[in-house]
Amino acid sequence: MTEICSKISSGATPLTTKASFYQGGTIPWLRTQEVVWRDIYETEIKITEKAVKETAAKWIPENCVIVAISGATAGRAGVNKIRLTTNQHCCNMEVDPTQANYRYVFHWITANYERLKALGRGARSDLNMGMIKSFPIAVPSLEDQRRIADLLDKFDALVNDLSSGLPAELNARRKQYEHYRDRLLTFQEAV
C-alpha cells in the first residue's frame, strides 16, 4: 500500500477524563466501531481543538481509506467523506491520486477482507500498520480502477439504498415471475 499512498497514519484517543478534550467539541473523532464498509459522513463523538493541539489526534483530509486495525472490526474499511480525526486503532491511508483511485482501494480492501483479517495476531486478530502497509494490491491503470470503482459503487448503491435498490429488485423479481409464468403456461391447448 505504501507505493499508492502519499501518507499513512493513525490517530489517538484524548484522555476521556479530561473534560476539556470533549466538552463542547465540534471536531469529528472516529472510532473503529464506526468503520463499517461504507462512507463516513458523521462520527458519534466530537473532540475539541484543545484535544487536537495537546494530543496525537490529527486531522486527516476527506476521501482517505480508513482500515480498522484492532478488535472486532479489524480489517474493515471505510472512506471518510468529511475531514476528521481518528483514534489510534485506525489506519488512515491518503491515496495518491496519481497512483490509485481511492474508491478502487476501498473496494480492493473490502473484497480482500478475509485475507487481510487472517494476518491478524492474538486473541482478537489485531492488525498493525506494518501489515496494512505491506498488504499487496493489484493496481491496474487508473482508468480501469475508475471503471471498476464506478461499477462497484453503482452496485453497492443498488443493494444498499432502499429508494433505488428495492424498486430495482422488485422489478427484477416481477420480470423473473413473468418469465417463469409464461414458460410454465406454454403448452398445447386441448382441441
Task: Dump pLDDT digits (tens) for 70-80.
Answer: 888 999 999 99
- Phi, psi at 27, each rounded to 5°: -90, 120
From residue 171, give the alpha-carbon distance in Å to each of 92, 159, 162, 164, 166: 40, 14, 13, 11, 9
pTM greater than 0.75: yes
Q: Which CATH class is domain 2-138?
A: alpha beta
The pLDDT tens digits of the residues spanning 17-72 come to 999 999 999 999 999 999 998 999 999 999 999 999 999 999 999 999 999 998 88
Confidence of residue 185 (pLDDT cuts 50, 70, 90): low
